[in-house]
Structures are given as structure tokens and as C-alpha cells.
Amino acid sequence: MSALSSAGAVPLATLERSGFPESQHLGAAVVVDPRGRVLTASGDADALVYPRSALKPFQTVAALRAGVRLDATGLAIVTSSHVGSPRHVDAVRTVLEGAGASEEDLRTPPAWPSSRTAMEEAVRRGEGPSRIAMNCSGNHAGMIAASLALGRPVADYLDPSSPVHALAVEVLHEHSGADPLHPGTDGCGGPVWAVPLVALARGYASLGAAEPALLAAVRSDPELIEGEGTATTRAVAALGVFAKSGAEGVWCAIAPDGTATAVKVLDGAHRAAAAVAVSLLAGVGAVDRAGADAFLADPALAVLGGGAEVGHVRVLV
């Protein structure tokens, strides 16, 4: 089993600027029904991909199995790739404090908030990059809480041999049906495993049926999963999907009826991945076509020129 490559990729979307096709994004995409049966596939859906942050829902379930108790806000922030707004940071602190830990226990790389407003506020306060502002701090807070719940030292929470990560592998295998391969290190320092793209979609479909509280937490408060103005938050708010992005062009979603999709854009283009996923869900009738078209015209997916909208992503599948 090999990684997705150009040989297994197909054109998924074109970025058009001023009516001119400026970029074409290749990749693979798959949609499965609530039972995991493939409804449509483009490209090599059996090829391996690193889901990156799209693994976070499975890690959240692993934390719950370890004994961590999370309310709706906690479920969403532990699953998130947040923009570092004050609300996000406060939610991460609440998870840490509930576990008997603190911001100092985080081992995420120090980062500025990706929210421009939050970054400017930090500068005005005389603050610099911080571990808690890094977009994966909620996910790491969940790992820390799980480690403590299992009686492990906080300092060991990123150790690949930690039972926290063994639980995550167990959850991922249970829902996807795949054996996670090629264990690696994500950009935040946490673990990452490769799975076939179709297994990732099946994992989302299965997880959606098994973990309604997690889906409800994100759908009821879309801003927590990513942030105001982002494609993921806008998709959740506009279409009622449960959606999660992953770095390097991965985007997964579960429609209200349980249909699930997973997309990997080979060049890592995040904007194109979200557009393709939503369009495919609309194509199988899992989300409203008018709502999907409105999302595809959303400013979060716009191509800008001089600050004005001059183009959009056009989905090809």
C-alpha cells in the first residue's frame, strides 16, 4: 500500500482568477454512505494519506475512553484546529485546569494566533508567540488530560509509546477498519498515522454514528472547531455538517444524514479541499445543493485581487 501520488490523482478543482484558470488542483476524494459503502470516488481512494488534524476526532474519543470528562465546549476545543482567539484560548485553559494541568504543561510549538485580530491584540499587550495560541493546543490539552487520567506523567504525553496514543490507534482502527501505518510526527509534535483515504471517510461515517455528542458539540458552536471566517466553521454553520480540516489539503465532513466524505488535495491546497468535499456531498444529495452553491461562493473560498474578489475555486468532480 503506497501514498497517494500524481499517478493516482485526478483534477479535482481549478482556481480561476479574473476568468483565467490560474491553478489546477489534483488529488483524490471519496464519499461513503452511513454504512461505509462507497457512493462516489475520484482518483485512487485506496492510497494512503496522512490525515493530519483530521485525526483529531478519533483522538478526542480516545481521551474520553481514557476517562476524561468533557462538556460540549471541551469536546469541540479538543477536536479543533483553532485560530487562537481569546475564546479558544480560554476553552483550552478550562480543559487543562479540569485535568489539574496548566499552560506550562503544553509542548506545542510557540506560535502567534492565526486570527489577525487575536494576534494584533497580543502585540498590543506586549505578548509574543505562545504554546496555548498554537492551533493544536486544544488537541494537546486533551492528550494531557488523557495521560493524567491514565496515571501517566504529564511530561510523557507526546511519547509515542504512551497508552494515550495506543488508544487513539485503537479508535482509528475500530472505526476505519484500517491498520494505521507509517507513524510519524505532526507539525504540532503530536502523532500522525497514514490510512487509506476511503478508510478515513469510513472512519468518519462510523464515528458520526457512534459519537453523537461530539458531532452535536461542533454543530452547535461552529466557531470553536476552527474560527470565524474560516471555511470549516462556515461549512458547519451553513450546511449543518460536522467538518474537520487537516494540513496539506485534507478535509473531511459528515452530513446530517450520516454520509461522509474525505478529500486529499495533492498540492496541499486547503481551500480547494473544502470546496470539493462540499460539492461532492451535494452531488449525492447529502446536503442541500443551494446551500452548497452558496458555500462555494462564500468569501472564505474567494480569490482576491487588490482586496476585492476576482475569482473562485471551481470544482471539477
Please report, rounded to a whole number, the percentage of residues in the chain having pLDDT higher than 70. Answer: 100
Q: Where are the domains of the chain?
A: 6-315
What are 280-289's pLDDT values in tens digits? 999 999 999 9
- Determine the pLDDT at residue 169: 98
Q: What's the whole-number mean pLDDT along residues 225-238?
A: 95
Output the DSSP codes for 20-31: EEEEEEEEEEEE
Please state the φ and ψ torsions of residue 159, each to the nearest 5 degrees. -65, 125
Give the pLDDT confidence of 129-154 residue by residue, as tens digits. 999 999 999 999 999 999 999 999 99
Sign of CA dihedral 13, 31, 64, 94: positive
21 band by pLDDT with thresholds 50, 70 and 90: very high
Task: Return phi, psi of residue 258, to 5°.
Answer: 95, -10
Please tell me the predicted confidence (pLDDT) of residue 1. 86
Helix (H) or strand (E) holding 168: helix 163-176
| pLDDT higher than threshold 90 for residue 298 | no
Instruction: Give the least confident one: 211-220, 269-278, 293-302.
Output: 293-302
| pLDDT band, residue 299 (cuts 50/70/90) | confident
Band (273; pLDDT cuts 50, 70, 90): very high
pTM of the entire predicted model: 0.96
For 28-87, write each residue's pLDDT tens digit: 999 999 999 999 999 999 999 999 999 999 999 999 999 999 999 999 999 999 999 999
> Residue 301: pLDDT above 90?
no
pLDDT over threshold 90, residue 300: no
pLDDT confidence band for 255 (50 / 70 / 90): very high
- DSSP-derived letter for residue 109 is P
86-131 pLDDT, tens per residue? 999 999 999 999 999 999 999 999 999 999 999 999 999 999 999 9
Mean pLDDT in residue range 239-251: 98
> If 0-12 CB within 10 Å is exposed, 13-18 middle and 19+ buried, where does residue 152 land?
middle
CATH code matching the domain that covers 6-315, chosen among 1.10.10, 3.40.710, 1.20.140, 3.40.1130: 3.40.710
- What is the structure's pLDDT at 18? 96
Check whether 14 has a pLDDT greater than 90: yes
Beta bridge partners of 30: 41, 262
